[in-house]
Amino acid sequence: MSALLPPTSADLLDDSARPYFLWWTDTSVGELRRHLVAVDADERAYWMGALLREANTRDVWSFVDPDAIKALWPKLERHLGRARAMWAYLLGLEDARRTPRVGAARGA
């Protein structure tokens, strides 16, 4: 049995509250949860990307699990910005957008 840390804010347990990490929109916690299970994969990817990019990592696990992230990764990674490499590393995923260092092929 794994134990999760509680969310950083009790508001994240209230479906009517506005999560701190969706600062640019009036989306509520309940609306975010609905977006994260939407039939449309592009919709899920956009909102999961916002979650992974903007939320405290500790709060991410209140909304998604690693398998959901991995399953959506090809559509999701473009929404992650600077957080993409961190999530790829944490989940053992290939960061397709990572560019190799100059000289890396020659062992430099």
pLDDT at 8: 93
Residues in CB range of 108: below 8 A, 6 or more apart: 101, 102
**Mean pLDDT for the stretch of residues 77-91:** 95
pLDDT at 26: 96
Residue corresponding to tokens 């990764």: 73
Q: Is residue 21 part of a domain?
A: yes
CA distance 85 to 25: 25
Number of independent structural domains in the chain? 1
Q: Is residue 3 part of a domain?
A: no
CA distance 50 to 52: 6
pLDDT above 60 (res 64): yes
pLDDT above 60 (res 50): yes
- Estimate to the nearest angstrom the gap between the alpha carbon of 82 and the chain centroid: 12
Q: Is residue 25 part of a domain?
A: yes
Backbone angles phi, psi at 29, to 5 degrees: -55, -45
Q: Is residue 103 part of a domain?
A: no
pLDDT above 60 (res 1): no
- Confidence label for 5 from pLDDT (cuts 50, 70 and 90): confident
Q: Is residue 90 part of a domain?
A: yes
| Predicted TM-score of the model (pTM) | 0.84
Q: Which domain holds residue 43?
A: 10-97
Residues 19-37: tens digit of each pLDDT? 999 999 999 999 999 999 9
Tokens of 23: 């600062």
- Summary mean pLDDT of the chain: 89
Q: Is residue 76 part of a domain?
A: yes
